[in-house]
């Protein structure tokens, strides 16, 4: 990072590897196109426009880039799902509905480096043959929408968008679409419905796989903001070179958003798998708060299963099997999955021993009960039910068997819903009960077993 | 592998191998082999949103070998082994695949159903004792078959709007709603009037009607039929009768030439409701509100209950034999050319067959029907508001029914026609005959279910049964022969029109030994070419195509297109 200086107090940590966040908090940087161009902006687009379309996808495949939105699906593979005999228009949508609690990376790209996104997106659109693309920005980012719209206008004026981009014959228009404040709009088919002007009810898959039947039932690629930014750098470095960063099958860099009980919460771009949880907490974040001990970590956004601090995790199989403490877990997709959670959106939520797990779970359940779209039965009814049970646990009005019910409700949601929200809302409950069962039960009262717990039922019982 | 036709795939359902055409939805495949999969949101005539999750089933596919590993070998039946997938799938939207396995029973499937049932009942008001849907509610039925028997829900239930007027004929209880969205899809996809939708989200989701709009289209009551629970109820039927007390009679609607298949629900000779009955060649699953609600007059005070004869300008109650004898006496001095018979295209083929015989017997110079033309609605309502105009053409032999009505009028005007036998018609109000004109007649006989201006003028009035009180066959707009079945008895001394015509034939001198509609149908089948070889039983509950008319039913045509596009199962 030669020659780049950062604002005081915002300097990257030595263990960071800034690619996407290279210009975030950079001294003398602004989101305008002149600044971007002076820094070599849109060079990769010019390079890409001179390549074969299939070759771009090939580079992205070689790079091993996995989606940074949460699911970690290989980006290049996703692009190839567009039916080869397709005759309909192809759309590309940038998912800037960053709503996963604990995640705050895309907003910095939108606010401070919008042209990086536009450049990555334009390359991606050229690769998949999209002439119309949308950036779906969540309602809660009003400034971001203004900044990105301005950036689009600037790119237009400079011939990086619009008709015949840089004389290549490629046309592209990008539009900003603003959400209306619903978590479910981050689910790609929910987002597509919303973009079509409907309630964001996720679609069933099959048949509505976006790459074949997406926006207006045309092939549609939905990629996260960070993912699309990576595309620019993959073209810059070449896929193989890119794949040398990070670790095998977990290539590149990714931005970790650390929140919770650490000294210096914030965002940190690291090579995937090259730093451990311990390094994240102790080095990047300056350690836990004084006198506190680590209790648990949610490693990939609020939907990820919680990891308990004192647990030993076994990863790998057979001869490769090794035992890890929570401190040793490398921050990558595969290890995190092997530990029973997920790297998800990169939102790392750290909890120390001052935290009541009942309260934490109730907080999460409140969020999911509020955000369930209500389309399909298990999630609609289950998310509120789980919230109501943990409301009682926190209020000291629950009995030990309520914890079993809570777990049973989560299990009845998991794997039975239209979209991944079912897992998103049930995994926290499942993992908290599995890992902190004793603590949750400790917050319940055995004497309330079988007791009537709400006024409504009391009234009904009294009139019997 | 066993003999596989190119477009068929082998699927194992509950351990037994079957073959289904490619593209068959799992839920339909299972139903075809008797393994009914419970569901709320799925409806074969609507798109499948897959939202209720009640139809989750366990499925499996042949195992995919690791690279280099031995591929799985077929067993002696020629099928590959099935590797069962722990994640259940919805049977409503997934289609069959070669060598697929489906389990509609077993721990995974059963646990899913129990879970969904518990969820659906968690915030349900459980007000079955006062719910109109009780007895025909899928929540109740599936609770028995797939429920847990008890709920773990100890929380406060969500409160939602109740007793909401969503339209003039439909009422909504949001707390009972299971949010299957069938009504929303119906109004959007079938009725082209998308006024219903969901607002709010999560467990607080409410079905609602668009602000300032109402569910007022003429097909609104179909939403009540397809609502699997008691969320949408009919203003007309609610709180009138518990459904399990009612008798169901399969018959057809007679309000237009479409002849929607219906079920009449009655108890102790009173009709409580009429609902559409599925017939994919006629009305699909639907019918217009205006037609289904047109039954309350059947037990009105205006019904004729006894034969009457006019003496000194006043009607008095008479016996059937008296009334028939008077008719015979009045007709005796007249020649055939002085008599006109006005039958009705609301009569069955059997009735028309006897009318034809009557016409021949008395040598009547004129025979006509009263036409009823309106505007087709582009869905199920035909422009021809008579249900059996095709029967009139075929059985009564009128090439152009209704065209001779003016000649009858001028015949009366000019004194050439001296008597009219008006069978099941209302000449004054529907036929354009003025009371003054009818006053010129020497003799007017009128049969009808209700007292009307024509019966008021008639010398002999005979109470004829209405459509719900008689049996017979009719031919609809597309040429389909359909059966009308008697649901209730007519009031008092009412007779079915075929009995009246038979008795008239007898009174006018011709004896015959017809005692049932089926006997008439036998004679009809023997005498009228189009009916040749048909038997009453053969017609069945769904009718059969009899003649080509070249006419189509618009709602059905659109349904065929949606089916061809793969949007619906059909």
Q: Tell me the pLDDT tens digit for each residue of A88-136.
A: 999 999 999 999 999 999 999 999 999 999 999 999 999 999 999 999 9
pTM: 0.94
Q: Which one of A380, A383, A412 has the shortest CB-CB distance to B179?
A: A380
Which residues of chain B neighbour A385 with C-beta distances below 8 Å?
119, 122, 153, 155, 203
Q: Which residues fall within 8 angstroms of residue A18, CB to CB, at 6 or more apart?
A: A1, A12, A24, A253, A269
CA distance A90 to A131: 7
CA distance A3 to A232: 21
State the pLDDT at residue A136: 98
> Is B191 contained in some domain?
no
> Is B335 contained in some domain?
yes
Contact A385 B56 (CB under 8 A): no
Helix (H, G, I), strand (E, B) or coil at B495: strand
Chain A residue with minimum CA distance to B95: A206
Res A24 pLDDT > 50: yes
3-state SS track over chain A: CCCCCECCCCCCCCCCCCCCCCCCCECCCCCCHHHHHHCCCCHHHHHHHCCCHHHHHHHHHHHCCECCCCCCCEHHHHHCCCCCCCCCCEEEEEEECCCCCCCCCHHHHHHHCHHHHHHHHHHHHHHHCEEEEEEEECCCCHHHHHHHHHHHHHHHHCCCCECCHHHCCCCEEEEEEECCCCHHHHCHHHHHHHHCCCCCCCCCCCCCCCCCCCHHHCCEEEEEHHHHHHHHHHHHHCHHHHHCCEECCEECEEEEEEEECECCCEEEEEECCCCEHHHHHHHHCCCECCCCCEEEEECCCCCCCCEECCCCEEECCHHHCEEECHHHCECCHHHHHHCCCCCCCCEEEEEECCCCHHHHHHHHHHHHHHHCCCCCHHHHHHHHHHHHHHHHHHHCCCCHHHHHHHHHHHHHHCCCCCCCHHHHHHHHHHHHHHHHHHHHHHCCCHHHCCCCCCHHHHHHHHCC
State the pLDDT at residue A461: 65
CA distance B104 to A407: 25
B236: its two tokens: 């007309």
Q: Nearest 5°: CA angle at B492, between B372 and B501?
A: 50
ipTM for this prediction: 0.94
Measured between alpha carbons, how far is residue B120 from residues A102, A387, B51, B107, B142 in Å? 32, 17, 12, 20, 11
Which residues of chain A neighbour B115 with C-beta distances below 8 Å?
378, 412, 416
- Specify whether the CB–CB gap between B221 and B292 falls below 8 A: yes
Helix (H, G, I), strand (E, B) or coil at A347: strand
> Is B131 contained in some domain?
no
Contact B156 A455 (CB under 8 A): yes
Q: Which one of A184, A412, A418 has the shortest CB-CB distance to B51?
A: A418
Measured between alpha carbons, how far is residue A40 from residues A13, A170, A186 in Å? 24, 21, 32
Chain B residue with minimum CA distance to A203: B49
Q: Which one of B94, B200, B201 has the shortest CB-CB distance to A206?
A: B94
| Mean pLDDT, chain B cut into blocks of 10 residues (570 residues total) | 69 97 96 97 97 97 88 90 96 96 96 97 95 96 92 92 97 97 98 97 96 97 98 97 97 98 97 98 98 97 97 96 96 96 98 96 95 97 98 96 96 97 97 97 98 97 98 98 98 97 91 85 96 95 97 97 94
- Specify whether the CB–CB gap between A173 and A130 falls below 8 A: no
pLDDT band at A450 (very low <50, low <70, confident <90, very high): confident
CA distance A232 to A278: 31
Which residues of chain B neighbour A380 with C-beta distances below 8 Å?
119, 179, 202-203, 205
> Is B320 contained in some domain?
yes
Q: Which one of A384, A418, A452 has the shortest CB-CB distance to B202?
A: A384
Contact B49 A201 (CB under 8 A): yes
CA torsion through residues A423, A426, A430, A436, sign: positive
Which residue range(s) make up the domain with B50?
Answer: 8-105
CB pairs under 8 A between A and B: 113
State the pLDDT at residue B69: 84
Contact A369 B156 (CB under 8 A): no
Computed over every residue of chain A, the mean pLDDT equals 95
Measured between alpha carbons, how far is residue B182 from residues A214, B18, B50, B194 in Å? 23, 30, 11, 12
CA distance B5 to B18: 12
Which residues of chain B neighbour A369 with C-beta distances below 8 Å?
202-203
Read off the pLDDT of each residue in A242-246 and give the average, rounded to a whole number.
95
A361: its two tokens: 């779970």
Distance from CA of B121 to the nearest CA of A (A): 9
Which residues of chain B neighbour A207 with C-beta distances below 8 Å?
93
Cis peptide before A189 (omega within 30 of 0): no
Contact A371 B201 (CB under 8 A): yes
Residue ranges of chain A whose CB lies within 8 Å of a chain B CB: 182, 184, 199, 201, 204, 206-207, 369-378, 380-385, 388-389, 392, 402, 405, 408-409, 412, 415-418, 452-457
- Specify whether the CB–CB gap between A131 and A168 falls below 8 A: no
Contact A376 B51 (CB under 8 A): yes
> Is B291 contained in some domain?
no
Q: Which of B90, B105, B120 is the last residue of a domain?
A: B105
Place of tokens 């971001």: A144
Beta bridge partners, B199, equal B206
Contact A377 B202 (CB under 8 A): no
Half-sphere exposure (CA, 13 Å, Cβ side) for B346?
Answer: 26
CATH number (domain holding residue B67): 3.10.20.740
Q: Which of B68, B83, B105 is the last residue of a domain?
A: B105
> Is B381 contained in some domain?
yes
Contact B202 A206 (CB under 8 A): no
State the pLDDT at residue A2: 57
Read off the pLDDT of each residue in A276-303 and give the average, rounded to a whole number.
97
- Residue A183 DSSP label: G
Chain B residue with minimum CA distance to A411: B115
Beta bridge partners, A96, equal A137
A93: its two tokens: 């949508």
Q: Which one of B54, B88, B202 has the shortest CB-CB distance to A369?
A: B202
Distance from CA of B93 to the nearest CA of A (A): 7
State the pLDDT at residue B151: 85
CA distance A161 to A171: 7
Per the structure, the count of domains in chain B is: 2
Which residues of chain A neighbour B567 with C-beta distances below 8 Å?
none
Read off the pLDDT of each residue in A343-364 and give the average, rounded to a whole number.
96
State the pLDDT at residue A453: 77
The radius of gyration computed from the CA coordinates of chain A, to the nearest angstrom, equals 23
Res A291 pLDDT > 70: yes
The string of DSSP codes covering A40-92 is TTTHHHHHHHTS-HHHHHHHHHHHT-B-SSSS--BHHHHHTTS-TT--S-EEE
Helix (H, G, I), strand (E, B) or coil at A294: strand
Distance from CA of A405 to the nearest CA of B (A): 7
Measured between alpha carbons, how far is residue B460 from residues B282, B283, B341, B447 in Å? 38, 39, 14, 8
Contact A385 B93 (CB under 8 A): no
Give the CA dihedral A438, A439, A441, A443, nearest 10 degrees: 160
Q: Which residues fall within 8 angstroms of residue B515, CB to CB, at 6 or more apart?
A: none
State the pLDDT at residue B510: 75
State the pLDDT at residue B1: 45
Q: Identify which of A302, A375, A372 has the alpha carbon closest to the alpha carbon of residue A341.
A: A302
Kind and range of the H or E run holding B251: strand B247-252
Contact A405 B118 (CB under 8 A): no
Test the A interface: residue of B202, B206, B566, B567 with most A CBs within 10 Å: B202
Q: What are phi and psi of A391, to 5 degrees?
A: -55, -45
- Specify whether the CB–CB gap between B195 and B168 falls below 8 A: no
Which residues of chain B neighbour A388 with C-beta distances below 8 Å?
155-156
State the pLDDT at residue A41: 95
> Is B145 contained in some domain?
no
> Is B116 contained in some domain?
no
pLDDT band at A451 (very low <50, low <70, confident <90, very high): confident
Contact A416 B112 (CB under 8 A): yes
Which residues of chain A neighbour B178 with C-beta distances below 8 Å?
377
Read off the pLDDT of each residue in A295-321 and give the average, rounded to a whole number.
94
Contact A374 B115 (CB under 8 A): no
Contact B179 A372 (CB under 8 A): no
- Listed in order, strand segments (DSSP E) in B269-418 are 270-276, 308-311, 314-317, 339-343, 366-369
Test the B interface: residue of A183, A362, A370, A381 with most B CBs within 10 Å: A381
State the pLDDT at residue B513: 72
Q: Which of B105, B128, B153 is the last residue of a domain?
A: B105
- Specify whether the CB–CB gap between B199 and B210 falls below 8 A: no
Helix (H, G, I), strand (E, B) or coil at B25: strand
Q: Which residues fall within 8 angstroms of residue B557, CB to CB, at 6 or more apart?
A: none
């Amino acid at each position: 990072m030669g020659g780049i200086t950062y604002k005081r107090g915002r300097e990257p940590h030595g263990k960071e590897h800034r690619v996407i966040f290279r210009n975030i908090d950079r001294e003398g940087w602004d989101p305008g196109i002149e600044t971007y161009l002076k820094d070599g902006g849109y060079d990769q687009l010019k390079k890409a426009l001179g390549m074969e379309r299939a070759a771009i996808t090939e580079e992205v495949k070689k790079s091993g880039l996995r989606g940074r939105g949460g699911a970690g699906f290989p980006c290049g593979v996703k692009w190839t799902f567009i039916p080869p005999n397709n005759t309909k228009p192809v759309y590309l949508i940038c998912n800037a509905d960053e709503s996963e609690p604990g995640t705050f990376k895309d907003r910095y790209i939108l606010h401070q480096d919008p042209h990086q996104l536009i450049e990555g997106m334009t390359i991606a659109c050229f690769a998949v043959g999209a002439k119309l693309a949308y950036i779906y920005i969540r309602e809660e980012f009003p400034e971001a929408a203004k900044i990105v719209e301005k950036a689009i206008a600037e790119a237009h004026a400079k011939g990086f968008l619009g008709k015949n981009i840089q004389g290549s014959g490629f046309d592209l228009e990008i539009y900003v679409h603003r959400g209306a404040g619903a978590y479910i709009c981050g689910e790609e088919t929910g987002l597509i419905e919303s973009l079509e002007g409907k309630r964001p009810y996720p679609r069933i898959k099959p048949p509505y796989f976006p790459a074949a039947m997406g926006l207006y039932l045309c092939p549609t690629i939905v990629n996260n903001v960070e993912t699309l930014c990576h595309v620019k750098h993959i073209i810059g470095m070449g896929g193989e070179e890119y794949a040398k960063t990070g670790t095998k099958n977990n290539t590149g860099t990714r931005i970790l958003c650390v929140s919770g009980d650490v000294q210096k919460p914030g965002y940190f771009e690291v090579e995937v798998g090259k730093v451990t949880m311990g390094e994240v907490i102790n080095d990047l974040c300056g350690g836990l708060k004084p006198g506190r001990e680590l209790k648990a970590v949610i490693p990939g956004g609020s939907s990820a299963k919680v990891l308990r601090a004192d647990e030993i995790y076994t990863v790998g199989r057979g001869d490769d099997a090794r035992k890890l403490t929570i401190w040793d877990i490398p921050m990558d997709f595969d290890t995190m999955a092997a530990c029973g959670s997920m790297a998800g959106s990169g939102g790392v939520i750290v909890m120390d021993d001052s935290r009541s797990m009942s309260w934490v779970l109730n907080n999460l359940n409140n969020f999911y009960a509020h955000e369930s779209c209500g389309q399909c039965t298990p999630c609609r009814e289950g998310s509120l039910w789980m919230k109501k049970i943990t409301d009682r646990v926190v209020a000291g009005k629950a009995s030990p068997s309520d914890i079993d019910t809570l777990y049973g409700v989560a299990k009845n949601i998991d794997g039975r819903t239209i979209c991944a929200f079912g897992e998103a809302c049930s995994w926290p409950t499942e993992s908290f009960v599995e890992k902190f069962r004793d603590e949750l039960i400790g917050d319940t009262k055995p004497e309330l077993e079988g007791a009537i717990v709400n006024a409504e039922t009391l009234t009904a019982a009294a009139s019997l | 592998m066993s003999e596989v036709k190119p477009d068929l795939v082998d699927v194992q359902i509950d351990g037994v191998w079957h073959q289904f055409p490619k593209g068959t939805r799992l839920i339909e495949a299972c139903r075809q082999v008797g393994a009914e999969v419970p569901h709320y949101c799925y409806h074969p005539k609507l798109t499948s949103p897959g939202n209720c999750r009640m139809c989750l089933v366990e499925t499996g596919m042949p195992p995919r070998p690791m690279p280099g590993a031995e591929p799985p070998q077929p067993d002696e039946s020629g099928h590959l082994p099935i590797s069962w997938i722990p994640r259940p799938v919805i049977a409503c939207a997934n289609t069959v695949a070669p060598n697929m396995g489906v389990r509609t029973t077993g721990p995974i499937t059963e646990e899913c159903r129990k879970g969904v049932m518990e969820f659906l009942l968690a915030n349900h008001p459980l007000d079955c004792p006062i719910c109109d849907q009780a007895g025909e509610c899928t929540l109740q039925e599936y609770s028995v078959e797939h429920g847990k028997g008890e709920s773990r829900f100890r929380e406060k239930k969500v409160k939602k709007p109740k007793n909401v007027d969503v339209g003039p004929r439909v009422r909504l209880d949001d707390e009972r709603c299971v949010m299957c969205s069938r009504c929303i899809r119906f109004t959007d996809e079938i009725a082209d009037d998308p006024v219903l939708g969901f607002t709010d989200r999560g467990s607080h989701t409410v079905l609602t009607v668009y602000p300032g709009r109402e569910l007022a289209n003429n097909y609104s009551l179909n939403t009540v039929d397809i609502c699997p629970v008691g969320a949408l109820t009919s203003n007309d039927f609610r709180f009138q009768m518990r459904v399990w007390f009612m008798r169901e009679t399969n018959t057809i609607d007679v309000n237009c030439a479409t002849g929607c298949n219906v079920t009449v629900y009655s108890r102790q000779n009173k009709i409580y409701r009429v609902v559409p009955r599925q017939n994919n060649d006629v009305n699909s699953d639907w019918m217009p509100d205006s037609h289904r609600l047109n039954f309350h007059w059947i037990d009105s005070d205006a019904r004729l209950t006894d034969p009457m004869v006019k003496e000194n300008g006043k009607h008095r109650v008479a016996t059937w034999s008296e009334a028939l004898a008077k008719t015979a006496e009045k007709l005796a001095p007249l020649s055939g050319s002085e008599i006109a018979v006005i039958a009705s295209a609301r009569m069955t083929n059997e009735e028309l067959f006897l009318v034809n015989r009557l016409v021949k017997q008395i040598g009547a110079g004129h025979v006509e029907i009263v036409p009823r033309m309106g505007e087709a609605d582009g869905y199920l309502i035909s422009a021809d508001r008579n249900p059996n105009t095709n029967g009139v053409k075929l059985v009564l032999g009128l090439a152009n029914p209704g065209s001779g009505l003016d000649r009858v009028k001028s015949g009366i005007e000019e004194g050439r026609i001296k008597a009219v036998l008006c069978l099941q018609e209302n000449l004054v109000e529907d036929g354009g005959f003025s009371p003054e004109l009818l006053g010129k007649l020497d003799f007017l006989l009128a049969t009808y279910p209700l007292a009307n201006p024509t019966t008021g003028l008639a010398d002999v009035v005979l109470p004829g049964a209405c459509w719900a009180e008689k049996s017979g066959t009719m031919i609809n707009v597309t040429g389909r022969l359909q059966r009308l079945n008697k649901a209730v008895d007519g009031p008092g001394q009412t007779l079915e029109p075929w009995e009246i015509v038979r008795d008239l034939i007898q009174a006018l001198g011709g004896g015959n030994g017809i005692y049932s509609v089926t006997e008439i149908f036998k004679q009809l089948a023997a005498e009228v070419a189009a009916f040749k070889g048909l038997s009453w039983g053969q017609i069945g509950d769904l009718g059969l195509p009899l003649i080509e008319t070249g006419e189509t039913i618009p709602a059905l045509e659109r349904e065929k297109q949606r089916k061809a596009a793969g949007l619906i199962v059909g």
